Structure 1
Amino acid sequence: MLLRAPDYGQGGWFPRPGPSRCVGISRRVHNIEMPNSSPKSAWKSLREGNERFVGGESIHPSQGIADRAKLVNEQHPTAVLFGCGDSRVAAEIIFDQGLGDMFVVRTAGHVLDDSVLGSIEYAVHVLNVPLIVVLGHDGCGAVKATLDALDKGAVPDGFIRSVIERVAPSILMGRNEGLKTVDELEGRHVVETGSLIMQRSRIIADKVAKGECAIAGVTYTLSDGHMRLQGVVGEIGE
């Protein structure tokens, strides 16, 4: 049984940090004027939140009755979190954020499709969110399953197969670069996911080129809760 790679085009490591291409677009959706932060301040908030979580000092912000009422008619998230759907990697918890702080999109193996890209574009283009975080984690089941499919021919049935097909290009690239372990390859997959977002979305590429948005690729360690920055496109102050 052969795996069919999705037609993404050719990907690669996304720079950390460095210039990105600017692609002109016509705006078909009116942007809402939001008091969002910059990519640097958004990243600082997430980094500090993860440090609190790791140290057992989470403050659980913006989770009270008044906070719910304040968010009824509008939202002002400062980051898009596109991550793996693993139940152990709950975005608002590991970054110690609250209601309305993060626009969260999750799929198994953080694989991209049109609906995912549309969701991320909505956050960036309409809500003016200045930071996209691609979040993977150690021991990723999607990466393990992809390795089994590539090495043993163990291709899952149903729509799980689509997940494997979308992870496989990252794994093959990583192996060509000498990476071997599941966690090394997951780091590569996080970086490649960021590259694909830039390649496939003119809206996001344009925002990044203007300095209005950045993409950070991050892996999370299940045992101790630490996040590790794997790659950046744009400027987040790291």
Structure 2
Amino acid sequence: MNLDDTPQAGAGRVPAPSPAPRRRTLLRTAVTGAAALGAGLAFDASPAAAGTTAPHRRPATPAEALRELEAGNRRWRANHQRHPDESPSLRRELTSGQHPFAVVLGCVDSRVPPELVFDQGLGDLLTVRSAGEVLDEAVLGSVAYGVLELAIPLVVVLGHQSCGAVRAAVETEESGEPLPAHVQYLADQIAPAIDHTVEGDARIDATIDAQIRLVRSRLAAEPDLADKVASGRLAVVGARYELTTQRVHRVA
């Protein structure tokens, strides 16, 4: 997956929970600990990284999880998918429990299914999807469930090229014309990420990256997640999928 910070051509700017549940707010602006997100972690682009994680071996650290996703994305791009973890025996095994190694918070776009673009199978990824990676309490609770209850060491906020939800947010702000009912809610949540330093398609593209960064920062501000990031047990990273190349790369 080459989660480095190199922009793509045409990509613009490219354990248990506490005893008393705390009320969470998605509007907090604090990004304490955000600078440490994924620090020291990068996807190894070398061919030697492919297949280093044996089939059905659960990566136990953030770095191992990143390497496994990178290897899977490279197989996807080369049309060498393994379609792992689909056997009848594994399906029977999974009836007794699950041990996914990464949470992927992605967009609902039908062109970006995480299990396919990372060449993973049943029980490998905990996927949470909302248009434009918009956070609400249900989405946040789903991510927290993966980290706190399933001890998942990696959260990837996965945006993508040509995101329709981001385009709608930018265009409705520019035109002043409201979107239908619940779609306007999505636009309102994406609005703080709109990049006003550029115009046209460049604004949409830059806002895609800005939304990835904003969501990543909001997740990092959650105390339970931030504690795990600080201790090295969790990495929260931003990434972007390019429809034109099928490559996933890091959004710093």
Q: TM-score, normalised by structure 2?
A: 0.77
C-alpha distance in 1 between matches for 2:247 and 2:39? 25
C-alpha distance in 1 between matches for 2:144 and 2:59? 16
What is the aligned partner in structure 1 of residue 223 from structure 2? 202
State the 1:228 CA deviation.
1.2
State the 1:70 CA deviation.
1.1
What is the aligned partner in structure 2 of residue 8 from structure 1? 27
State the 1:211 CA deviation.
0.6
Distance 1:113 1:153, change over 3 A: same
Residue 156 of structure 2 aligns with an amino acid whose one-letter code is: V
C-alpha distance in 2 between matches for 1:141 and 1:11? 28
Structure 2 counterpart of 1:193, from 190, 209, 215: 215
* RMSD, matched Cα: 2.0
Q: Does 2:49 match 1:49?
A: no
Structure-to-structure mapping, 1:14-163, within 5 angstroms: 14-15=34-35, 17-18=38-39, 37-163=60-186
C-alpha distance in 1 between matches for 2:186 and 2:66? 29
Give % identity: 34
What is the aligned partner in structure 2 of residue 218 from structure 1? 239
Q: Deviations over 1:125-161 (max 9, x none)?
A: 0100000000010110111101111111122121111
Contact 2:107 2:133 in 1 (8 A): yes
Between the two proteins, the alignment pairs up a number of residues equal to 207
The ranges of structure 1 where at least 4 consecutive aligned residues each deviate by more than 2 angstroms after the TM superposition are 9-19, 178-181
C-alpha distance in 2 between matches for 1:77 and 1:127? 8
Contact 2:26 2:136 in 1 (8 A): no
Residue 27 of structure 2 aligns with an amino acid whose one-letter code is: Y
Residue 188 of structure 1 aligns with an amino acid whose one-letter code is: A
State the 1:36 CA deviation.
5.2
> What SS does the aligned partner of 2:91 have?
helix
Residue 209 of structure 2 aligns with an amino acid whose one-letter code is: G
> What SS does the aligned partner of 1:53 have?
helix
State the 1:37 CA deviation.
1.0
State the 1:18 CA deviation.
4.5
State the 1:113 CA deviation.
0.6
State the 1:67 CA deviation.
1.4
**What 5-or-longer segments of structure 1 have no aligned partner?**
1-5, 20-34, 232-238
> What SS does the aligned partner of 1:71 have?
helix
State the 1:216 CA deviation.
1.2
Contact 1:220 1:227 in 2 (8 A): yes
Distance 1:17 1:107, change over 3 A: closer
C-alpha distance in 2 between matches for 1:192 and 1:11? 11
C-alpha distance in 2 between matches for 1:154 and 1:109? 19
Residue 97 of structure 1 aligns with an amino acid whose one-letter code is: Q
> What SS does the aligned partner of 2:96 have?
coil
Contact 1:219 1:230 in 2 (8 A): yes
> What SS does the aligned partner of 1:147 have?
helix
